[in-house]
Amino acid sequence: MQDKKITRAKTVLDALKRHLGFKTYLQLADFLGVKQNTLSSWISRDSLDEDLIYRKCKGLRYEWIRTADGAMWEGYATGVREPVLLIEEPDLSIHPNTVESLIHHHLINMTEEQKRDVLKYVEEKKLLTELLAERKDKNKGNGG
**Secondary structure string (H, E, C) spanning 25-83:** HHHHHHHHCCCHHHHHHHHHHCCCCHHHHHHHCCCECHHHHHHCCCCCECCCCCCCCCC
Q: Is the pLDDT of residue 34 over 90?
A: yes
Assigned domain for 101 exists:
no
Q: Count the residues in the chain.
A: 144
Q: Are residues 84 and 118 in the same domain?
A: no
pLDDT above 50 for 80: no
Residue 79 in this model has a pLDDT that exceeds 70:
no
What is the CATH classification number for the domain harbouring 28?
1.10.260
**Where is average pLDDT lowest: 26-35, 90-99, 112-121?**
90-99
Domain that holds residue 67: 8-95
Q: Do residues 59 and 88 share a domain?
A: yes
Residue 53: how many other CB atoms lie within 10 Å: 19
* Pair (54, 114) in one structural domain: no
pLDDT tens-digit map of 45-77: 999 999 999 888 878 888 888 888 877 877 654
- Domain match, 14 and 84 both: yes
Residues 117 and 90 in one domain: no
d(Cα 61, Cα 79) in Å, to the nearest integer?
14
In this structure, are 29 and 69 located in the same domain? yes
Look at residue 20 and tell me whether its pLDDT is greater than 50: yes
Indicate whether 100 belongs to any domain. no
Q: Do 121 and 81 reside in the same domain of the chain?
A: no
Query: Domain count of the chain?
Result: 2
78 plus 116 within the same structural domain: no
Q: Is the pLDDT higher at 129 or at 75?
A: 129
Same-domain check for residues 68 and 126: no
Residues 84 and 130 in one domain: no
Classify residue 26: in a domain, yes or no.
Answer: yes
